[in-house]
Amino acid sequence: MIYRELGNTGEKVSILGFGAMRFPTIGGKPDQIEEVESNKMLEYAIENGVNYIDTGFPYHSATTTEPGQSEPFIGEFLNRGYREKVLLATKLPSWIIEKKEDMEYYLDLQLKQLGVDQIDFYLIHTIIQDYWNLFKELDLAEFLDNIKSDGRVKYVGFSFHDEFDLLLEVMDHYEWDVAQTQMNYLDENYQSGLEGLKYIGSQNVGNIVMEPLRGGNIVENIPADIMNIWDKSPIKRTPLEWAFQYLYDMEYVDVVLSGMSSLEQVKENIAIANTGYPNTLSDEEKGIIKEVALAYKKKKANGCTQCGYCMPCPEKVDIPNCFKEYNIAMMLDNPEASAMQYFSLIKEESLASNCINCGKCTPHCTQMINIPEELEKVKNLFES
């Protein structure tokens, strides 16, 4: 296992972190973790060097507002002699917070669920503009100061799902220990993207990456044209190895979270993490990764570049983001995964179904997209 120093914290973290949101379940029910297999996965991971475990309030819950089973399951597991061997991370459920006391309430509930006196890394979950506006009103900085000074939390951070400008604002707002953003070779320009990842690294804030496999989409059911590009490489790697090596190659990435669902996946991922050195990819190999990314991107449904010239829509439709999730769904042939993003990142009043076909936006489109017609397709794909 390769270890890297997590920003300014001084903690040495395994390059592969265990994301505790996709354990095997009984009968496909998210709130019923298959505990025997899941215990084996955690034991194997820790015995083979993984020392960062990332859970969250809604993980393995039937809804995002009820406490999930991941935290209590992880708590029970760690209390069987593993607590001192790992760094434990969990997150404050931003979408439920309405007032200052809610932050205290959920942290205390999570400490109880985990059966610990202290959480190593406490992240504000899924920062997007709306949640951030509220957190500023609620004096988040004071809450973070308090929970660090009274010892309930050792380090604080945030996970992020918005654009680079907001990332800069959030980063400047507090002396964070860690920041968690989405990255894989398809997402260099998605949300805060590569620019955000580099900025976090430049500030010496612990740099945690999520979605390294884009929810599994870039390692499963690979189209033949994509496989042909991978096969051109002189150094042969599986799509899984390419996906991880792309991230491990970046020296400013400290830990890559993977939500594993079987013991086999844990073994495969650990084997790759044992070779996870930075700066190992040649220019030719980086070129092949870029070629694969481009081939995926050509599968997009429309050419929206998210320029925003069509905005604002008088009906408040969030045209760029509707198209963003639609294009990703078509590119990866996985509408279910994109639908989750669509409904969680776009407000209900801004979904495609709010379009009344007034046509005011279309003349402004830099890509000459027939916007209402395309929004109809978005609606049919995600909202039907």
Question: Smallest distance from the beta carbon of 166 to ligand SF4, in angstroms?
Answer: 18
Map residues 253-292 to x or -, x wherever contact with ligand SF4 holds by CB under 6 A.
Answer: ----------------------------------------
How many chain residues interact with ligand SF4 (CB under 6 A)?
29
SS3 content of the chain, % helix, strand, coil (to 5): 45, 15, 40
Measured from the CB atom, is 23 or 323 closer to ligand SF4? 323
Backbone angles phi, psi at 290, to 5 degrees: -60, -40
Question: Smallest distance from the beta carbon of 322 to ligand SF4, in angstroms?
Answer: 9
Task: Please state the length of the chain.
Answer: 384
Contact 69, 77 (CB under 8 A): no
Cα 128 from Cα 345, distance rounded (Å): 8
Q: What tokens does 172 get?
A: 């400047």
Question: Smallest distance from the beta carbon of 329 to ligand SF4, in angstroms?
Answer: 16
Question: Smallest distance from the beta carbon of 202 to ligand SF4, in angstroms?
Answer: 29
Rule CB under 6 A: which of 102-141 touch ligand SF4?
none
Cα 299 from Cα 221, distance rounded (Å): 15
Measured from the CB atom, is 85 or 316 closer to ligand SF4? 316
- Range 164-173 burial, b when 16+ CB lie within 10 A, else e: bebbeebbee
Map residues 155-174 to x or -, x wherever contact with ligand SF4 holds by CB under 6 A.
Answer: --------------------
Could you give the residue ranges of the DSSP H alpha helices within the chain? 35-47, 70-78, 100-114, 129-137, 140-149, 164-173, 193-202, 224-231, 239-248, 263-273, 283-297, 319-332, 335-345, 371-382
Contact 127, 138 (CB under 8 A): no
What is the C-alpha radius of gyration for the chain, rounded to an integer number of angstroms? Answer: 21
Measured from the CB atom, is 79 or 357 closer to ligand SF4? 357
Number of Cα atoms under 13 Å in the Cβ half of residue 76? 9
Contact 114, 70 (CB under 8 A): no
Measured from the CB atom, is 48 or 305 closer to ligand SF4? 305
Measured from the CB atom, is 287 or 312 closer to ligand SF4? 312
Sort 118 into a burial class: Cβ within 10 Å, 0-12 / 13-18 / 19+. Answer: middle
Longest dimension (CA), the chain: 64
Measured from the CB atom, is 79 or 367 closer to ligand SF4? 367
Rule CB under 6 A: which of 297-326 touch ligand SF4?
304-310, 313-315, 317, 319-320, 323
Question: Smallest distance from the beta carbon of 298 to ligand SF4, in angstroms?
Answer: 16
Backbone angles phi, psi at 210, to 5 degrees: -115, 170
Question: Smallest distance from the beta carbon of 129 to ligand SF4, in angstroms?
Answer: 17
Rule CB under 6 A: which of 322-381 touch ligand SF4?
323, 355-361, 364-367, 369, 371-372, 375
Question: Smallest distance from the beta carbon of 132 to ligand SF4, in angstroms?
Answer: 22
Measured from the CB atom, is 53 or 310 closer to ligand SF4? 310
Measured from the CB atom, is 24 or 308 closer to ligand SF4? 308
Cα 50 from Cα 7, distance rounded (Å): 18
Q: What separation in angstroms does the CA of 42 have from each of 54, 151, 212, 213?
A: 12, 26, 19, 20
Rule CB under 6 A: which of 199-218 touch ligand SF4?
none
Measured from the CB atom, is 227 or 311 closer to ligand SF4? 311
Question: Smallest distance from the beta carbon of 218 to ligand SF4, in angstroms?
Answer: 24
Question: Smallest distance from the beta carbon of 324 to ligand SF4, in angstroms?
Answer: 9
Amino acid type, 58: P
Question: Smallest distance from the beta carbon of 211 to ligand SF4, in angstroms?
Answer: 23
Measured from the CB atom, is 105 or 309 closer to ligand SF4? 309
- Please report, as ranges, the residues that interact with ligand SF4 according to CB under 6 A: 304-310, 313-315, 317, 319-320, 323, 355-361, 364-367, 369, 371-372, 375
